[in-house]
Structure 1
Amino acid sequence: MKSIHIRLLGLLLLVGISSCEEFLDVNENPNNPEDAPITGLMTNATYETALNVQRVGSTTSNYVQYLASPNPASASDVMDPLNFSGTWFNLYNVMTDLTDLISKAEESDAGHYLGAGQVLMALNLGMTVDIFGDVPYSEGFDFSSVTPTYDDDEQLYAEIMRLLDSGIQNLAGSTTISMGADDFIFQGDVEKWGKFANVLKARFMLHTKGTGSYNESELLAALENGFSGNEDDASVTFFEQRFNPWAQVAINNANLLLGGWISTQFIEALDGTSYPTVDPRLGLMIGTTDEGEFVGVPNGEGRGDAPEQGARSTLVPGQFYTSELSPLLIATYAEQKFIEAEAALSTDPGRAYAAYLAGIEAHMDMLEVPQAEKDAYLSDPSVAVGAQALTLDTILKEKWVALFLHPETWNDARRFDYGYKDMTVPANLNADLNGQFIRRLAYPDNEVSRNGQNVPTVTLLDRIWWDQ
């Protein structure tokens, strides 16, 4: 464990140094993994991948209105262009390590490490493409060019699928070295890695539903080999020396370092305002005011004349998402069931409805909702709509709740044209968005200054290839 802490400390030092002296984001490898053993690369890649999910989610949670800034017209809330050099660095840092892990695994015939590395590469590359669009990949990791070209985002999706298919094949084959405690996600359980790869394959295929490359039968076939229940969820559990990042947000907020304030949109979707029934998960996910009420912050408006603490709902320490040792969720059985529900909706409403209910139940079980409250919610007419009345709106609303704080919901929101009930653009919206929701992140300042001749010229309204 000490080696991981040393690597993390080194990463923090590098980030600090970068404010004084530019480093080459894509074409340098600050961790020098050429000298790292394959086990060390695996530990760092699994741990940092989970953190990358949270890092991206911390940005997108304002866009999908889980969170809202307590300050009016805050840049994150009103969808201003921001500098995501840190996010870019963290994604490429992991992919650089994974490039070396994959190379070492091939040299050693370590098939299981190879397969896991390919799955993690697909995930990190997919997250990068989904938020930025075209990005360097084919010239991104061999250090042959200081100004790598940008690959087309649609072609990169083909590479993501190739990586996942190869990963599934290698995980099912032989290996000279077995994974174990160096794997922070599944502790060396190769069967779970295979299930995880299939869930990711379905996730990324679902993004393409509005394109000519979408294949419903292939997506549903992947899910047949996916998770069997919550016990298969892909996550990283934290330890005493490093808290779950959402727990740190909640702790910081309690100490008046403001963050993790809850959007009015999220609260009203669960408290009986936007939908007919009160969702018992609400109090297990966020805190109340000092008066014991759930009161949100309207995105873009800030907290108004409320005092800093106690008059608005926030993330609070000690809940499922915010305990110090809480897991960071990468992919879950609940998500899998909602993917299945959406994919099957048009051709097999019965299957879609069963999957929809199973997704809600899986999330409630994760939060340990009491059985009576779970049964009451699942039997409420606004939830138990029946197979023939099930709609995409209903599925995606429940998926939005079940994937709280997860970046995948921004992909759903864009595919859905932000069509959630009562979701409106924030107050004080970035004027350049012309009254519309944001569609992508701006390319990082470090990348523009270093590799500007290759960085695509885009606006925050330009859509990536699957969001047409």
Structure 2
Amino acid sequence: MKIKNMKPSKTLSIAILALALSVQSCSDYFDVGNNPNLVTAPSVNSLLGSVTHRVGLNAQRYGSAVSSYVQYTASPTSGSETDTYQITDLSTSWSQAYYGMSDAYDMVSAAEESGATLHVGVGKLLIAYQLGLVADTWGTVPYTEAFNKVDTFTPVYDSEEQVQETIGQLIDEAIVALGATDATIALDENLDVIHHGDVDAWLRTAHGLKARYLNKFTKKPTYDPQAVLNALDNAYESSADDMKMGVFTGNNPWATIATNNLGGTLGGWLSTNFINHLNGHTYGIVDPRISRITDATVHGNYVGTPNGGGNQGNAANTIHDECYISTNSPLTGNTSPIFIMTYAELKFVEAEAALRGGFAARAYAAYLDGIQASMNMLGVPAAEAEAYIKEPTVGVGANSLTLDLIFKEKYVVTYLNYEAWNDARRHDYAYEGFTMPIGAVLSNFIRRIAIPNVELVNNGGNIPGQEPLDTPLWWDKP
């Protein structure tokens, strides 16, 4: 089933954002019901605008929070807390994810009452996605008693395994709802700022998120590569299907970081590890995507900043002798969308699952397709892309493809995406040249983040004992 719609104009952004603010959640552990300043009974499509907008911003927010852990970025200040695995307070990220889930939960509740089955599907899917963000960051989190499902300001914490099971159930329920033919209300093409009312696109995204979710459990004995491949068979067919959100009050948040950096509010410096991954230092070949991701330095080369080491140039500010997030990149430009999940990424999910399942030919075809899709997405000229893919260390043939190669190429594709941290943990940070940050306060790579202050203050009595930050999450253990 498909409801054909046109993409909304950017001029709708102010109206959509005003609407998003009008339905912001609060009280009763992120329930909207008791705030007198809010719309008391917003329509399901009004909520759809808030829900789809929030999830895009949360995708960027969480990607930014962990970008130094996967060494995409590095601080220009030596010994920074994010680079060196110190305890950081992500209260805003925590709260915004719960606001996003609360809006989605309210949309699902209203949609169930009115028979708006499609909104039920979108809502459950976006609850699942954002619940994944918090669960993959902190492990055990509140869900069962959140959103006024139980009349309490202090909901209990669900176990790590329970939360992961809930995510899978929500995705499956979303797929059923999106496939129903009895919806009473269409998805509004203007207020849906992700897929613009296209139900088929939402279904493909639901199957893609299911594949991504199932592939996270590679360390568990229940991991089923065929189930991952089955989900992918119903997911994206091209980059036109990408899950992305491009409506902002100003510019793309990544572009704002880049612009602020050039103005003296430093941030968005790229890690030595990531730059060396691309500039030929680590692998002996230059990846042509580097010039579409960042800008060359004033010296015409590509130089990163070591995590924990800070600015390495002769000046203490941005004379551009190191590389930064760039507004010239299709991924981080002023008007670029936030990419939540892409066709290119899913081709690497397919490559990994197929290789683990013993389907070498399918794995290699997906691996090559993923590289090509990434090149196309970044606007790399065909000749440069072809030359890179034909390099003997890249185009290795089906019989020589390894998981290391798949993770190596996927690392470029998931640049600044939160999912990269899930991959790094699943792969035990075993990327070529990936080392512990300078001055790290942990003995091993970071695996989780400390519960934020907002929760310590408001719900501290329910927080389970906190593990050291290098303790793997449930899904990250055999």
Q: Which residue of 387, 391, 405 corresponds with 1:380?
A: 391
Question: 3-state SS of the aligned residue for 2:323?
Answer: coil
* Aligned residue runs from structure 1 range 209-228, under 5 A: 209-228=218-237
Distance 1:25 1:230, change over 3 A: farther
CA contact (8 A) 2:211 2:349 kept: yes
| 2:353 corresponds to 1:343 | yes
CA contact (8 A) 1:33 1:41 kept: no
Q: Which residue of 238, 241, 244 corresponds with 1:232?
A: 241
Q: Deviations over 1:35-66 (max 9, x none)?
A: 22211111111111011110010011100011
Counterpart in 1 of 2:3?
A: none
Question: 3-state SS of the aligned residue for 1:452?
Answer: helix
Q: What CA distance in whole angstroms lies between the structure 2 residues aligned with 1:151 and 1:392? A: 33
Percent pairwise identity: 41
| 2:16 corresponds to 1:4 | yes
Q: Offset at 1:8?
A: 5.6
Question: 3-state SS of the aligned residue for 2:339?
Answer: strand
* Aligned residue runs from structure 1 range 146-161, under 5 A: 146-161=153-168
Q: Deviations over 1:403-450 (max 9, x none)?
A: 1100000000001111000100100112xx2x2111101101110121
CA contact (8 A) 1:199 1:227 kept: yes
Q: Offset at 1:276?
A: 2.2
Counterpart in 1 of 2:459?
A: 451
CA contact (8 A) 1:33 1:97 kept: no
| 2:368 corresponds to 1:360 | no
User: Structure 1 counterpart of 2:334, which letter?
Assistant: E
Q: What CA distance in whole angstroms lies between the structure 1 residues aligned with 2:386 and 2:410? A: 18
Q: What CA distance in whole angstroms lies between the structure 2 residues aligned with 1:72 and 1:146? A: 40
Distance 1:305 1:374, change over 3 A: closer
Q: Deviations over 1:64-120 (max 9, x none)?
A: 011000000011111111011100000000111111100011011111111111111
Q: What TM-score does the superposition give when structure 1 sets the normalisation length?
A: 0.94
Counterpart in 1 of 2:337?
A: 327
Aligned length: 455
Q: Which residue of 459, 463, 468 corresponds with 2:472?
A: 463
Q: What CA distance in whole angstroms lies between the structure 2 residues aligned with 1:242 and 1:213? A: 45
**RMSD value, Cα:** 1.7
Counterpart in 1 of 2:436?
A: 425
| 2:261 corresponds to 1:258 | no
Distance 1:8 1:36, change over 3 A: closer
CA contact (8 A) 1:34 1:100 kept: no
| 2:80 corresponds to 1:70 | no
Q: Which residue of 26, 29, 32 corresponds with 1:26?
A: 29
Counterpart in 1 of 2:100?
A: 94
Question: 3-state SS of the aligned residue for 1:330?
Answer: strand
> Higher mean Cα deviation, 86-95 or 290-299?
290-299
Q: What CA distance in whole angstroms lies between the structure 2 residues aligned with 1:158 and 1:295? A: 42
Q: What CA distance in whole angstroms lies between the structure 2 residues aligned with 1:27 and 1:303? A: 40
Q: What CA distance in whole angstroms lies between the structure 2 residues aligned with 1:25 and 1:444? A: 18
User: Structure 2 counterpart of 1:68, which letter?
Assistant: A
Q: What CA distance in whole angstroms lies between the structure 2 residues aligned with 1:24 and 1:448? A: 17
Gaps of 5+ in 1: 15-22
Gaps of 5+ in 2: 1-11
Q: Offset at 1:294?
A: 0.6
Q: What CA distance in whole angstroms lies between the structure 2 residues aligned with 1:357 and 1:54? A: 27
CA contact (8 A) 2:74 2:305 kept: yes
